[in-house]
Amino acid sequence: MQKLGFLLFLGLAASAVLATPLDPALSRLLLTPGQLWTRSASLALVKQVMADGQCTAQEFALLQQLATAGEAPLSIEGMTVAQPSGEGLEIFRLVTEQQDLMARWKGGAPQMQGLIDLTEISPQYGAQAQSLVAQHLLQIYRRPECSVANQYEPLRVEIQRAFTLMNSLPTDSGRRGLALLYRACQMADRASNQDIPDFLYEWLKNPPPSE
């Protein structure tokens, strides 16, 4: 089972506190009461945190405060900050809690959306997700019941399942997800010494329009 989160991935202490002033670039992205922490607003803050390729203990403490906020507005460095909810809150939880990436891959649209969000937040998350999905596809291909006799039905079904799920996501997330799926198929093919038939996944480069 593959799990990761900022706690594990970056090795930060959960007890980190805001001991020094925040970077002004982060402060400008904090929302005040009356403003809504949308998915895009939360992503903007998290991506700013990761803009330099790392997350300091102070930055993690900020994200953790936002992820564990109660019903009342937060007070951060004397500034009253809007309480995250809905999709915005999920983004903060996504990056401060350990994540089972394979459970997200095998889940429904909300779980897959979280996985795609992680790949958008950090290239490291993207590389790890791609590798994990490639291993999963390769394992399916190597099952005895996956053979030329049934045109590799188990693998075809899994690729189609993921494709259908990606198409149910918002457009940008769907495109990112399909790119992840295609690269994972390529990686699995290379790991099989180019044994996986191209027709099983090459169509993902020019997929049919969703209904």
**What tens-digit pLDDT sequence spans the chain (211 residues)?**
444 444 434 444 334 444 567 778 888 889 988 888 999 999 999 998 888 877 888 889 889 989 988 777 788 878 889 888 888 999 999 999 998 999 999 999 999 999 999 999 988 889 999 999 999 999 999 999 999 999 999 999 999 999 999 999 999 999 999 999 999 999 999 999 999 999 999 999 887 765 5
What is d(CA 128, CA 124) in angstroms, rounded to the nearest whole number? 6
CA atoms within 13 A on the CB side of 124: 14
What is d(CA 44, CA 41) in angstroms, rounded to the nearest whole number? 5
Taking CA 23 as the corner, what is the angle to CA 18 and CA 26, rounded to the nearest 5 degrees? 95
Number of domains in the chain: 2
Q: What is the pTM of this model?
A: 0.84
Same domain, 72 and 108: no
Report which of 90, 95, 101, 97 is spatially closest to residue 122, judged by C-alpha positions.
95
Give residue 45's domain range. 3-97
What is d(CA 155, CA 134) in angstroms, rounded to the nearest whole number? 12
Q: Which of 66, 97, 128 is the last residue of a domain?
A: 97
Same domain, 93 and 104: no
Same domain, 81 and 69: yes
Same domain, 134 and 184: yes
pLDDT of residue 1: 40
pLDDT of residue 103: 95
pLDDT of residue 20: 60
Same domain, 83 and 180: no
Same domain, 106 and 156: yes
Cβ contact 155:140 at 8 Å: yes
Q: Which of 81, 97, 113 is the last residue of a domain?
A: 97
Q: Please state, as a whole number, how many other Cβ atoms lie within 10 Å of the Cβ of residue 176.
A: 19
Same domain, 113 and 181: yes
Same domain, 105 and 188: yes
Distance of CA 172 to the CA centre of its chain: 13
Any domain includes 210: no
Cβ contact 39:91 at 8 Å: yes
Residue type, 66: L
Same domain, 175 and 108: yes
Q: Which of 79, 97, 115 is the last residue of a domain?
A: 97
Any domain includes 134: yes
Beta bridge partners of 75: 80
Cβ contact 59:11 at 8 Å: no
pLDDT of residue 15: 40
Cβ contact 162:181 at 8 Å: yes
